[in-house]
Structure 1
């Protein structure tokens, strides 16, 4: 938990507070039981606000941010790879390129009619938080986008009529120059090309500094 209006201290670890420590499985039923006291407190906090020592009163607006899996669980939704995946609107995978979609769900409606809404299977756990205050954290979005871009780049290179060893060698050379430990290998008894799993700092360095021109020159 953190206070979002504490602009100067928001990014400091000392200003983030742990509310629940839970060693169990990350499932809806388990989280519902483990988070019951917190959910009850948040309902009261949202309704009554906060009275600070000294007579100050603070109204409270709650926000929720996490990775997609945890957010979907807490919203009572199916996983991100299902047909109706969006927490905020009714779009399906077939409409992912439709840019006119807007937030057309509401938390009040989801709480009461979740069984009638595509993609939802259970009542939201944190129903006291307005739906437009739910968001994915930037780190997980960045990591997922980076993974997809990397997979698409390798897929394009493999489809080209070019010696695979050439572009693999160029990628390895670029990684060496960036001081990133990286290797290619094939899964045993298959043609599936695997590679070293990259961590966040290395992915960020690749986004900033990888020379794609040098790699794609292998196609000419």
Structure 2
């Protein structure tokens, strides 16, 4: 928490940090639980329903104590460590909101690129916009020794650059059905469900489950998800040459618009009131709800995360209350943590060398020097450089040998 947030906390008892820390401090279950939300009692089965007008903040320390005593819980698992901070004073952090949703959008494109065998096009596009990205394969830990494809995860700064600069047309193409995926793309839970429904053995690692399912259905057969709730996703197997004309398409241009609209929403949270990019709470709520509905239409219900629910239903409340929530977040602390991590690898001896000095002391001393230079507006003088030749003339070399 930054210094500005700390002073607000002292006066108004406001809390802002990342989702995991909030669940620990407030004694609430994790984001993948049935009652996932930190502010309301929305359930997992309702997370994709954006036709609901609003989800008001209903959680309170009093209700939490009552639920824990009666055993009904509704997402509460432990006592509140900060009962003096009301749930209406827990402000969503816009930095983590941007990073988590951006990462979801980016990983969707990566998986579609892999499915279309466009990995090289993706790497070329990332290189074009100046983002370090690459694929690699690791050996699995199962008996079949199947290789697993993995890819680098961009940083927060890179994600912002990717969302604003990437041309998706350079990576993926429109496809007959965005719901068609390889059997290997299913999760372990989905694979086990399908094997269980077919009366087959559902035990083993993922590679074994994929092999067992492909032996039953045949290699090259793809699966299509039915449009049902995110908790009851079933798959029907068929030849992918059937029913081509009736399939929905993977709309690349629509995905590009989705990325642009998401960046506009995130920039609105950083904009000061009465500026061009700023949005009032009602406008932000309507645009966020429209964006989330479009996200469902273009992608999958399974990819709707608690952060999207928070952006649609709870961020507008705090925008209306405070007008500007960026300075209440933790972006300043995260930036300092990033700078210190960079300094550890680039500006310290990491506890090595002849002079043993604590790494933390080296980082703080470096920061003090930079602050002093910035305050005094000092300019570093370029030191003179004299090239020294290390080539020994032939005559001197003969003299050294003879002596």
One of 106, 113, 124 as aligned partner of 1:157: 113
Q: Does 1:215 align with 2:171?
A: yes
Q: Distance in 2 between matches of 1:181 and 1:97?
A: 33
Q: Distance in 1 between matches of 2:147 and 2:111?
A: 13
Q: What's the counterpart of residue 228 of structure 2?
A: none
Measured after TM superposition, the shift of residue 208 of structure 1 is 0.7
Going from structure 1 to structure 2, the CA distance change for 1:110 and 1:16 (only over 3 Å counts) comes to closer
Q: What's the counterpart of residue 61 of structure 2?
A: 107
Q: Distance in 2 between matches of 1:179 and 1:143?
A: 18
Q: Distance in 2 between matches of 1:103 and 1:15?
A: 25
Q: Distance in 1 between matches of 2:66 and 2:5?
A: 32
One of 184, 187, 195 as aligned partner of 2:135: 184
Q: Distance in 2 between matches of 1:181 and 1:154?
A: 14
Q: Is the 8 A contact 2:113 2:119 kept in 1?
A: no
SS of equivalent residue, structure 1 residue 118: coil
Going from structure 1 to structure 2, the CA distance change for 1:211 and 1:156 (only over 3 Å counts) comes to same
For structure 2, the 5+ residue unaligned runs are 140-144, 177-403
Q: Does 1:171 align with 2:122?
A: yes
Deviations 1:123-173, CA, capped at 9 Å, x for gaps: 1111111111113311112111122112222233344xx4x1xx2111111
Measured after TM superposition, the shift of residue 176 of structure 1 is 0.9
Q: What's the counterpart of residue 77 of structure 1?
A: 28
Measured after TM superposition, the shift of residue 16 of structure 1 is 6.3
Measured after TM superposition, the shift of residue 113 of structure 1 is 3.5
Measured after TM superposition, the shift of residue 65 of structure 1 is 0.8
Q: Distance in 2 between matches of 1:80 and 1:112?
A: 22
For structure 1, the 5+ residue unaligned runs are 3-13, 19-41, 46-59
Q: What's the counterpart of residue 94 of structure 2?
A: 138
Q: Distance in 2 between matches of 1:158 and 1:95?
A: 31
1:107-126 to structure 2, matched below 5 A, reads: 107-114=61-68, 115-126=71-82
Measured after TM superposition, the shift of residue 112 of structure 1 is 4.3
Q: Distance in 2 between matches of 1:105 and 1:113?
A: 11
Deviations 1:77-134, CA, capped at 9 Å, x for gaps: 1211112211122222111123433222223322443353311111111111111111
Going from structure 1 to structure 2, the CA distance change for 1:16 and 1:82 (only over 3 Å counts) comes to closer
Q: Is the 8 A contact 2:113 2:122 kept in 1?
A: no
Higher relative contact order (CA 8 A, sep 6+): 2
- TM normalised by structure 1 equals 0.66
Q: Distance in 2 between matches of 1:176 and 1:218?
A: 23
- TM normalised by structure 2 equals 0.37
Deviations 1:30-86, CA, capped at 9 Å, x for gaps: xxxxxxxxxxxx8xx6xxxxxxxxxxxxxx321111111000011101211112211
1:22-33 to structure 2, matched below 5 A, reads: none
Q: Distance in 1 between matches of 2:28 and 2:94?
A: 21
Q: Is the 8 A contact 2:28 2:75 kept in 1?
A: yes
Q: Distance in 2 between matches of 1:16 and 1:146?
A: 25
Q: Does 1:98 align with 2:49?
A: yes
